[in-house]
Amino acid sequence: MNWLRTSIILLAAFLAVFAQAEFGWVRVWLGAQISLLPALMVYAAVSTDIVTISLLAVWGGLCADALSVNRLGVSVLPLFVIGLGLHRWRELLLRELTYAQLALGALASAAAPALTLLLLMSAGEHPLIGWSSFWQWMVMTGAGAALTPVCFWTLDRLPGFFAYQPEVSAAFRADREIKRGRS
């Protein structure tokens, strides 16, 4: 397990939740609040291990619920289910390709709010949903899809800033040189 990468992902989740709460203009412009947590979960699911996925689901979900009227813990399970599902099939996913990242981001960003709402309503809550929620769901899906490649690009490069660069060795090795002719 790469603790540096895990820490960076958890810090990113914390900052993403803060940005969601702080920058209300996104909601004013688009009519919907977008979430970066599903995109982060896609990255964690295809790039890290199950421990990081679990930590991200618990930490990100609890942070998001702490700044919301949501019941505490209700966002954890949807994030984890998405992460676990993608992690199980990660060998089949073409993580380097942008369109694959877009598709996975859209899938995760569509599933996360739907599962959370399902859980909320199962717990007897009455969230504010109607036909217009469909627009919010579409915005969340689209924004999540667009943000996933950004997540991949950023988080793939960030750990490199905190570690020594691997030494690039030349193919030529003096000790394995075949010397021909008479010496």
Partner 1 sequence: MARRSHYVALSLVLLLVVLVLSLPDQATVKFKLALSSLFLPLFGLAGSAQGLAEQAGNAAVPRRVLLEEAARLKLENQRLRLQAAEGEAAQRENARLRALLGWQSQNPLRLKAARVVGRDTANWWRSVRIDRGTRDGLKPDLPVLTAEGLVGRVGQVGFATAEVILVGDPKCRVSVVVRETGENGVLSARSSGVLDHRWVDLTHLPRNTALKPGQTVATSGLGGVFPPGIAVGTVVDSRSVGYGLYTEARVRLTVDSSRLSEVMVMLP
Q: Which is nearer to partner 1, 71 or 96 (CB)?
A: 71
What CA–CA distance (Å, rounded) separates 10 from 53? 10
Using CB under 8 A as the binding rule, whether residue 109 contacts partner 1 is answered as: no
Q: How far is the CB of 100 from partner 1 (least distance, A)?
A: 22
Q: Which of 4, 94, 123, 138 binds partner 1 (CB under 8 A)?
A: 123
Q: How many CB atoms neighbour CB 120 within 10 A? A: 17
Residue 88 interacting with partner 1 (CB under 8 A) = yes
Given 132, 138, 154, 162, the residue binding partner 1 (CB under 8 A): 132
Applying CB under 8 A, the span of 48-56, 96-104, 144-152, 157-165 interacting with partner 1 comes to 48-56
Per CB under 8 A, the segment of 59-67, 100-108, 152-160, 170-178 that binds partner 1 is 59-67
Segment 139-168, which members bind partner 1 (CB under 8 A)?
Answer: 140
Q: Is 66 in the site for partner 1 (CB under 8 A)?
A: yes
Per DSSP, helices labelled H in the chain are 3-22, 25-30, 37-47, 50-66, 76-88, 98-122, 133-161
Near partner 1 in 7-26, by CB under 8 A = 14-15, 17-18, 20-22, 24
Q: Cα dist. 153→40, 42, 46, 85, 158 in Å?
A: 12, 13, 13, 22, 9
Near partner 1 by CB under 8 A, which window of 4-12, 52-60, 148-156, 175-183?
Answer: 52-60
Least Å distance, CB 112 to partner 1, is: 11
What is the four-CA torsion angle of 53, 114, 100, 63, rounded to 10 degrees?
-40
For residue 6, give Cα distances in angstroms to 60, 126, 146, 159, 171. 13, 35, 23, 10, 33
